[in-house]
C-alpha cells in the first residue's frame, strides 16, 4: 500500500465506543474521523475465524462503499481458562434473542464459564484483549496492525467507564480495571510516547508510526 498523507479516515464501525476511542486517538494527529455509522453504511456479516479476517471484511466493505480510506477494528477478549473463548465471538456473547447486545449479560456468561471450570484464583483467570486494525483502500489494498494487553478477569465488574468487557478486565501491573480508568489512562499513549496500555492503543501506536509518520521514540 502506498503511503499517502491521511488527513481523513473512515472508521468502519457502528460501535459508538470504538468510534469514540479511535477519534480520541486520532485527535492529536490532526486526522479527521468519520464513521460508517455516521454515513449510514451497512454492516457486513463477519464470518471470519480470525480477528484479521473480520477486520478486513469491515474495512474493505466501508472503503468500497464510501470511496474513502477506511480503518476497522476487530477486537475481543481471549480467556485462557476458556480455551481462548470468547475470542472472535466476543460480541456474539453479548447478543440477545432480539438482536440487541448486553455486555452485562456477556460478562456474566464469562464469569459463569470460569466458575464452571473452577477458575477462582487470579492465576486461573488470565486472559488478554486483542485488537487488530485494518487499513483498507477502495482499490482493495490492506494493512494490519495488531495490539494485545494481558490481564486478569475480576468479579464483580468494577467501573462504569469504557465499554464492553472493560469492567471485568484488570491489566497486568495495574490495580484498576479498564472500566475504572478514564480514556487517557486506559490508552496510556500519545504521539511520541514509547508505551501504550490498551490493546487498541497498542495497535493504533503501530498504525500511527507506520502510516501517519509519527516518530518512533
Structural domain includes residue 141? yes
Provide the pLDDT for residue 5.
59
Q: Let me know if residue 25 belongs to a domain.
A: yes
Catalytic site residue from 74, 83, 112, 166: 74
Q: Which three cell numbers stand for residue 67?
A: 470511496
Instruction: Please check whether residue 183 lies inside any domain of the structure.
Output: yes
**Quick one: the chain helix, strand, coil %, rounded to 5?**
40, 20, 40
Are 127 and 168 in contact by the 8 Å Cβ rule? The answer is no
Q: Is 74 among the residues known to form the active site?
A: yes
Backbone dihedral angles phi then psi of residue 175, each to the nearest 5 degrees: -100, -20
- Residue 2 forms part of a structural domain: no
Beta-carbon contacts of 206 under 8 Å, excluding residues fewer than 6 positions away, are: 133, 145, 146, 147
**Domain extent at residue 184:** 8-211
Domain count, the chain: 1
pLDDT at 216: 67
* 120 within a domain of the structure (yes/no): yes
What is the widest separation between alpha-carbon atoms in the chain? 52
pLDDT at 26: 85
CATH code of the domain in which 196 resides:
3.90.950.10
Mean pLDDT of successive 10-residue stretches along the chain, which has 217 residues: 68 91 84 93 93 97 95 96 97 94 97 97 98 96 97 97 95 97 90 86 91 74
217 domain residue, yes or no: no
Angle at which helix 199-211 crosses helix 16-26, to 10 degrees, equals 40
Structural domain contains residue 3:
no
Amino acid at each position: 500500500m502506498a503511503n499517502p498523507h491521511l488527513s481523513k479516515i473512515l472508521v468502519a464501525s457502528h460501535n459508538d465506543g470504538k468510534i469514540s476511542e479511535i477519534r480520541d486517538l486520532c485527535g492529536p494527529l490532526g486526522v479527521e474521523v468519520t464513521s460508517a455509522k455516521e454515513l449510514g453504511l451497512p454492516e457486513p456479516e463477519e464470518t471470519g475465524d480470525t480477528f484479521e479476517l473480520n477486520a478486513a471484511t469491515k474495512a474493505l466493505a466501508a472503503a468500497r462503499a464510501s470511496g474513502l480510506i477506511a480503518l476497522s477494528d476487530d477486537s475481543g477478549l481471549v480467556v485462557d481458562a476458556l480455551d481462548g473463548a470468547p475470542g472472535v465471538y466476543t460480541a456474539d456473547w453479548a447478543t440477545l434473542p432480539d438482536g440487541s447486545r448486553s455486555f452485562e449479560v456477556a460478562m456474566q456468561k464469562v464469569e459463569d464459564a470460569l466458575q464452571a471450570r473452577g477458575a477462582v484464583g487470579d492465576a486461573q483467570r488470565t486472559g488478554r484483549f486483542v485488537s487488530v486494525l485494518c487499513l483498507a483502500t477502495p482499490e482493495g489494498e490492506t494493512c494490519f496492525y495488531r495490539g494485545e494487553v494481558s490481564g486478569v478477569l475480576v468479579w464483580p465488574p468494577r467501573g462504569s467507564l469504557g465499554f464492553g468487557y472493560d469492567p471485568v478486565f484488570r491489566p497486568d501491573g495495574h490495580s484498576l480495571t479498564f472500566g475504572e480508568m478514564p480514556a487517557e489512562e486506559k490508552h496510556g499513549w500519545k504521539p511520541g510516547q514509547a508505551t501504550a496500555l490498551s490493546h487498541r492503543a497498542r495497535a493504533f501506536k503501530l498504525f500511527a508510526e507506520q502510516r501517519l509518520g509519527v516518530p518512533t521514540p
